[in-house]
Structure 1
Amino acid sequence: MRLPTLRRTRPAEPGIVAGTARLDRRTKRLAGRLRPGEIAVIDHVDLDRVAADSLVAVGVAAVLNAKPSISGRYPNLGPEVLVKAGIPLLDDLGEGVFQQIREGDTVRIEGNTVFAGDEALVHGTRQDAESVAKAMADAREGLSVQLEAFAANTMDYLKQERDLLLDGVGVPEIETRINGRHVLIVVRGYDYRADLDVLRPYIREYRPVLIGVDGGADALVEAGYTPDMIIGDMDSVSDDVLRCGAEVVVHAYPDGRAPGLPRVHQLGVPAITFPAAATSEDIALLLADEKGAELIVAVGTHYTLVEFLDKGRGGMASTFLTRLRVGGKLVDAKGVSRLYKQTIPGSSLLLLAGSAIAAMTAAVTVSTVGKAYLGVASEWWDNLVFQLGQLF
C-alpha cells in the first residue's frame, strides 16, 4: 500500500537524486545489468565490500536497500565503500520497496524518502559517513559472537569434507594440463583489477594456467586474457565468456545438484560438475593443488578474518581450511599493486637520454655524411655569429 501523497511546497534541496530504478534481490546479478546513473534497489543485509565495489564500478546514482546494510552482527565493509564514493545509500526500506517500486520506474530520493513524481513511496534511513562509522563501531563490539560461530562452522566443514581436504576425494578429472605448471586463479574480489595489471609481466613470462572463478573469468577477458578454465556456480559469468572455449567446471551441492548446469547446457557448452560444500574459490584452489600445480597465485580471493566475515556466509569457514591445505604453494596477490608499482626512476630516464645523444653524436662524427653535415652546420653558425657582430 502506497503512502499518502505528499506535496512539496518548497524548492528542491541540494543532494536530491533521481534516476531509473533497477531491482533484484541478488546484488551480484543486478550489478551485471545496471547502467551508469541508474538507481539500484537491492535486498542485501550486511552489504559486503565486493558487492559495493561492483555497484561503484557501474556508476549507480544511488542504492536503495530493503534490509539494514549494517545489521550489527559484524563490521561489514560495503556501506563504507558506497559512502566514500559519494553514492547515496537509503537503508532498511522494508520488503514493501519491491512492491512500491517497479522495474524501470523513475524515482527521486529526497532525504529519507523515495518519491515517484510528488507521491512518497517509501521511507528509510539515509546513511552517511558518521552513521556508518557509528554502526561499524557497534558491530565490532559483537564480533566475539561471530568468531564463535565461525569456529563452529569450521569444525562442521572439516567433518563434512575431510576426505576432499585430506585426500582429494571427489575432485573431477579435467582436460586442462596443470601438473608442474603455475596456476593463476582470479576471483572478482578486492583490488583484483590493480593486482591483475601489476601481474602482467609475470603472466607474460610464466604463462600460467588461467582459471576464472565465476565473474573472475570476465575479469580475465576484460584484462585481455582468455581463461583456460571457468569454475563456479555460473551465476555471474557472462554468456560470451562461457563460450570462449575454456573448460567449464560447475560447482554443485554435495548431493550433486548443480543449479548452474542447465544454463551452461542451454548455451551448448560442455561442462563437468564438482560437488562440494566449499565455496567456488575454494574448489578452484583444491583442484589446482590436487592436479599438481607447482605454484598457485590467487587474485581477489578472501584472505583476512574480516573478509571471511564480510562475505556473510557460514561456508566461508571452508576458505580458512582450504588455505591450510594448499598453503605450501599458495601466493596471494592481494595488495601487490600497493606494494609494487612499475615505475621508471628519473635518473634512469636521464641516463637513457644521455646514452642516446652520445650514440648519435658518435655516429655523426665518424661517418662521411655526418662530417659533411657538421661542416654545413659549422659554416651556418659562423655566418650567424658574423651577422650578429655586424648588428652590434
Structure 2
Amino acid sequence: MNEKEYEAKLLSTPCPKPDPYGALSMPVYRALAYEFETAEAMEAAFCGRTDEHTYSRITNPTVQHFEQRVKRVTGAYGVTALNSGMAAISSTLITLAWSGSNLITSRHLFGNTYSFFANTLNAFGMEVRFCDLTNAKEVAQAIDEHTCGVFLEIITNPQMEVADLAALSEIAHERGVPLIADTTIIPFSVFHAIDFGVDIEVVASTKYISGGATSLGGLIIDYGRFNQYRTPALRALEGTSQSPFHTRLRKEVHRNLGAYMTPDVAYQQSLGLETLQLRFERQAAVCKGLAGKLKTLPAIKTVNYTGLEDNPFYEISKKQFGDYPGAMLTFDLESREECYRFINKLKLIRRATNLFDNRSLIIHPASTIFGSFTDAQREAMNVKQTTIRLSVGLESVDSLFDDICQALG
C-alpha cells in the first residue's frame, strides 16, 4: 500500500472506549484487574461470552488498541501482541505442533529461532526437518501427514536468501499445511504477506515498529484463511470459528504461556506505527544507496543486498518486496580478524545488536548471534566468519559511507 492508504487505515482506528478528555493517543491502562457490577457479568466475561477485560495477562485496553490498529492495516482476522518476537514464534508453534508432529523449515534462520526449533521443540517430541526452501521439489518431499507447517524468514538473517513465497504456499496448501513467515525484515505497511499465500505472519515489533529501539515486542498476525489444520486441538475447533488457530491461541496457549505485551510497550509501539512508513522509506533508500557504493571498495569482497541487480535473488526479491527490500545488508571482508579490526575503528556506526533502530548498528554474526554454535553448525547454516551485518538507520548515505571508508583505512 502507498503512504496515503497506510495513513487512512492506521489513523481511522478508533479507541475501544472513547477517552472522556478527548486524548488523541490511547491512554496507558496499567490496571491489572477489572471490576464487574455483578457476578453474572463476571462469569460472562471469564467464559468469553463478552469481550470485557478481566485480567491484563489476557487482554488490556491499551494493548488491544495496538492490536486493532495492526489488524486494520494488515486486513488480518486476528492479531496477538506479545512481549518479544521469539514469544510470537514460540506461541505460534506451540499452538500448531503436537508430540510426533514435524515442522518444515530451513537451516538459514536467526540463531535463537534455530535453537528453539532444533533443541526446545525437539525435546517435547517434535521433529524439525531442515531443507532447502528454494527447492520446491525438496520441500514437497519433506511434507507428510504429520507436518504441522512450513516456516521461513522472508529474507534470511544473515544469509539474505529469498524463497518464492507463492510457490511455497501452493506446495503447502496442496498438502494441507499452513505457511508461516517471519516478516520482520520488511514491515507490513510495504510487504503484504497475504498476497503471497502466507497464512500466519510473525513479527518482531521491536524492530521497525518500535522506532528508535524504544521497546521489546512481537506480533502474531493470523489471516484466518487456512482451515485444514492437522493439529488435533485445532481440528476439534473446526466449525466453531473462522480461525481455529486464533481461537486456540487466544483461549489456551496465550493465556497459559503468559507472554502478553505490556500496556506501556503497546503505547510506545502504537506511536511507532504512526512514523513507520516514513522511517522505512528513508532507511531502505539509504540501505540500497549504501549497498551500491560499498561495491566500489576493494577491501570489501562481497556485498549482499537483494535489491542489487547482480544479487542472485534480485528478481524474486523485486517481485515480492519491490525496489527496496529492507534496511539490512551484509558484506564480507578478508578474514575474521579484519572484521574485528574494522568494527573496532567505526565512529558513527554503533557496535550493537538489534535491527532497524534509528541509528545504524553493526555486528559480526558468527561470533555473537551464532557464537554458541559449533563450526559445523555455522557451516551448515552458511554463517561465515568473514561476514558483517549492517542494520541501516536514519543517517545519510554519505555519512555512513565515510565512516566505513575511514574504518577500512
- Judging by fraction of residues, say which structure has more strand: 1
TM-score by length of 2: 0.26
TM-score (norm 1): 0.27
**More contact order relative to length (CA 8 Å, sep ≥ 6):** 2
